[in-house]
Amino acid sequence: MDLLLIGPPGVGKGTQAARLRQALGIPHLSTGDLLRRHVAEGTALGAAAGAHMRRGELVPDALVTEMTLEQILGPSCSAGVILDGFPRTPAQAEALDTALAGHARRLAVVLHLTAPDQTLLRRLTGRRTCAGCGDSYHPDTRTPRTHGQCDSCGQPLVQRADDTAETARTRLAVHTRQTQPLLARYRLAGVLHEIDGCGDPGDVTRRLLAVLALRAAGSSAL
Ligand code: AMP
């Protein structure tokens, strides 16, 4: 099954995608993570994308789409994928639909996680990310056993360049502007589900799984 987790920066897409991956047994594909890996490795794509990312702006469609479709249509995602961060624009959505249809696949469900801007800004600016494995920490929800050091791999925890207050605000504004047409598209297609992303991460996961279970029950009843 191909599904999309959509929502503003800081709403917990990464955390929830990892939990859904466990529960559903299909991989999680985060374009933000993929792009950050390219930047860290100094690839040509990373060099082209890096400046946009540091400003909190979207990376041009052509760059992101080619990189992401290659993964989605690759062997690791043949049983389906949990998309996180792609598509973000109508052009990307169009390219995704066309590519999936060419392989007798389709985006079966879109899960839209929501939270108030104030909550999101607090989450983003307080977030510290492991420089090694990308794991996230936050004083409100998850503190590392040793200050400034990742529990999983021991690497230092850093603030992502785009998690500063000013850039976080830009990212929220960009997100709202860019995703409205996407939400309209998926609402019209009847695959959009709105889920409250506030509160305990375990509760949010239960809400997401409940929607998927209802959907599965609905389709088997047809
Ligand atoms: P994220 O980790 O999903 O918040 O993404 C971090 C940054 O990567 C974004 O602010 C964009 O600059 C870039 N990015 C990630 N996914 C996309 C996408 N689908 N289209 C354009 N830019 C993207």
CA distance 184 to 201: 27
Residue 42 has pLDDT above 60, yes or no: yes
pLDDT interval class at 222 (50, 70, 90): very low
Closest CA to 19 of 9, 33, 8, 5: 5
**C-beta 53 within 6 A of ligand 1:** yes
Could you identify the atom of ligand 1 that is nearest to the CA of residue 84? 3
**C-beta 134 within 6 A of ligand 1:** no
pLDDT confidence of residue 220: 55
The token pair that represents 148 in the structure block: 């400034």
Closest C-alpha residue for ligand 1 atom 10:
56
Closest C-alpha residue for ligand 1 atom 14:
32
Closest C-alpha residue for ligand 1 atom 11:
58
pLDDT confidence of residue 115: 96
β-sheet with 28-30: strand ranges across: 28-30, 81-84, 2-6, 107-114, 192-196
Q: Specify the CATH number of the domain 2-221.
A: 3.40.50.300
Closest CA to 20 of 160, 211, 191, 164: 211
User: How do residues 140-191 score in pLDDT, each as one tens digit?
Assistant: 888 999 999 999 999 999 998 888 999 999 989 988 988 899 999 999 999 9
**C-beta 171 within 6 A of ligand 1:** yes
Q: Work out the average pLDDT over 195-203.
A: 93
pLDDT interval class at 219 (50, 70, 90): low
Q: Work out the average pLDDT over 5-15.
A: 91
Could you identify the atom of ligand 1 that is nearest to the CA of residue 171? 10
Where along the chain do its domains lie? 2-221
**C-beta 59 within 6 A of ligand 1:** yes
Q: Which residues are catalytic?
A: 13, 88, 127, 160, 171
User: How do residues 51-98 score in pLDDT, each as one tens digit?
Assistant: 999 888 889 999 999 999 999 999 999 999 999 999 999 999 999 999
Closest C-alpha residue for ligand 1 atom 3:
32
pLDDT confidence of residue 178: 86
pLDDT confidence of residue 104: 95
pLDDT confidence of residue 134: 85
pLDDT confidence of residue 19: 93
**pTM, 2 dp:** 0.85
**C-beta 56 within 6 A of ligand 1:** yes
* pLDDT cut 90: percent of the chain above it: 78
